[in-house]
Structure 1
Amino acid sequence: MSNVWFITGAARGMGIDLAMAALNAGHRVVGTARDADKVTAALGEHKNLLALSLDITDAAAAVTAAQAAVERFGSIDVLVNNAGNFYAGYFEEISDRQMRLQMETNFFGPLNVTRAILPQMRQQRSGHIFTITSAAGLIGQEFCAAYAASKFALEGWMESLSFDVEPFGIRTTIVEPGFFRTELLVEGASSIWPELSIADYAERTSKTIAAWKSMNGLQGGDPAKLGSALITLASLETPPLRFVAGVDIVAGAEEKAQLLLAQVDAHRELSSNMAIAND
């Protein structure tokens, strides 16, 4: 069965592999990026591809793109909120401007696109929303205060959204990738370093930036395999609400779950003794 996939950030990184997986599976794809020509350059000319220019921080542009998708293909069956970037740094060195830009792209961007597409899915009484979060959406990490905040926000939104849209036959899946070989760590492409400088952080910042840069191109995850996995998940009668992607995040998620249980148990009596005493 051929479905219509609407994929943001389809001109580079993981988005290319996600779009190619959908096209190779016989689906029709609406691939968006800030510049539609870059989508075509990355994916090639294809009768089942509609390349659209879309800045996901522009709510009106998201509505226009959704309308163009329906006009071309008649429906939107699968949405993949993939576009995003990475403002890296220690919290005090990330400016207020950078923190807000991080949230605008990584959090409010997917909200804009989803809000534009949900009316079509409700009308169809069907649809599947994938939102790519991150291991950093489940596990806080050093040098990731802004990025983790945006991804944790996505997690809470998606968990709650599932209850809102389930009565309309719309399914949701949070995708939490570990380290995949994408352009996320490419300076100027997806990674933005802190614009403030504080002496107490200077040495750690310098060493951490160098370490992040050294990991680019060496990540263990294959984005093509993640693309194939999403095709599989979309075909399931009951897809998961959460999908951890990569052996590194599988181990990390298990460790986080055990840590949460241990933290609950550590002060169980104190936590459980909060009820108002009977008069």
Structure 2
Amino acid sequence: MKKTWFITGASKGFGLELARQLLAKGENVAATSRNKNELENQIAASPNFLALQLDLTDENDVQRAITQTIAEFGSLDVVINNAGFGLLGAVEELSDAETRQNFEVNVFGSLNVIRKALPQMRKQNAGHILNIASIGGYLGDFPGFGIYCATKFAVIGFTEALAMEVKDFNIKATAVLPGYFRTNFLTSGSLVTPKNELDAYESTRESQKFHQEQMNLNQPGDPVKGAKAIIDTVYAENPPVHLFLGSDAYKLATEKSNAMMDELERWKSVTVSTDF
């Protein structure tokens, strides 16, 4: 049965690849971007395709887009919260405004979509919400990525709770944790750096240089395969709450899990000593 997919940030990266693959499968796709023209330039017109200009930080605008999608296709089956941007700067050097803007888009934008989508999904007694997080939402030890990682930790946290809250309505929730994929994420339009850099943070500048000059366009992950894996997850009988993508993500997650267990055991006597 044909599904209706609502994808944010669909004019580039994973969002664009997801939209293209879904349309090729004959699915209904409502795709959003800050610039509707970018969507229409990238994706050919089709009765199954609805291009929507959307400001994720405006709840009323989100409601308009969701309402338009349901009016166009009659249902809302899958939401993919893909829109977001990277922020590379040390915690100290990023201003309050820069920090809050990253949370506005990466966290509160997704929550706006979820709140507006769930009434229709509950009415249908079916649906799936996928929130694109990052391996940086599972571990934060990347110099210069503290705030970005904090936004993705938040995404994973509310996705875990959401999965428990909506299961009685036959709705699924999945956090997607990609490693490095060869999208335009590390280009200037998707990766923001501080207005006021502090020379003292050499490790952050090295991280910035590495990501912009060495890792950019050399990422090991194939976005075509990544998008297919996300789509396939929706059709799985028991989709995961956490979907890690990429061999690098698997390696980093395994190392983090092992390190956490080691630290937990080392400090066990202190940890358990605080009970009554």
Q: Same fold judged by TM-score > 0.5?
A: yes
Identity %: 37
Residue 267 (structure 2) aligns with: 267
Determine if contact 1:18/1:226 at 8 Å carries over to the other structure. no
Residue 72 (structure 2) aligns with: 72
How high is the TM-score relative to the length of structure 2?
0.96
Deviations 1:97-132 (A, max 9, x none): 100001001000100111111110011010000000
Deviations 1:198-244 (A, max 9, x none): 2322x444433222211211111111111111221111121111110
Residue 218 (structure 1) aligns with: 218
**Distance in 2 (alpha carbons) for counterparts of 1:244 and 1:83:** 18
Determine if contact 1:78/1:129 at 8 Å carries over to the other structure. yes
Residue 158 (structure 2) aligns with: 157
Give the paired residue count.
274
Determine if contact 1:3/1:27 at 8 Å carries over to the other structure. yes
Q: Which runs of 5+ in 2 are unaligned?
A: none
**Distance in 2 (alpha carbons) for counterparts of 1:21 and 1:130:** 16
One-letter amino acid matched to 1:17: E
One-letter amino acid matched to 2:56: I
**Distance in 2 (alpha carbons) for counterparts of 1:265 and 1:209:** 34
**Distance in 1 (alpha carbons) for counterparts of 2:47 and 2:17:** 18
How high is the TM-score relative to the length of structure 1?
0.95
Deviations 1:133-163 (A, max 9, x none): 0010001021101100100011111001111
One-letter amino acid matched to 1:180: F
Residue 31 (structure 1) aligns with: 31
What secondary structure does 2:182 align onto? coil
Residue 207 (structure 2) aligns with: 208
Residue 111 (structure 1) aligns with: 111
What secondary structure does 2:131 align onto? strand
**In the alignment, structure 1 residue 132 sits paired with structure 2 residue 132:** yes
One-letter amino acid matched to 2:37: D
What secondary structure does 2:92 align onto? helix
Coordinate RMSD, CA, aligned: 1.1
**Distance in 1 (alpha carbons) for counterparts of 2:21 and 2:76:** 17
One-letter amino acid matched to 1:20: R
Residue 168 (structure 2) aligns with: 167
Determine if contact 2:143/2:203 at 8 Å carries over to the other structure. no
Residue 234 (structure 1) aligns with: 234
What secondary structure does 1:31 align onto? strand
**Distance in 1 (alpha carbons) for counterparts of 2:275 and 2:158:** 29
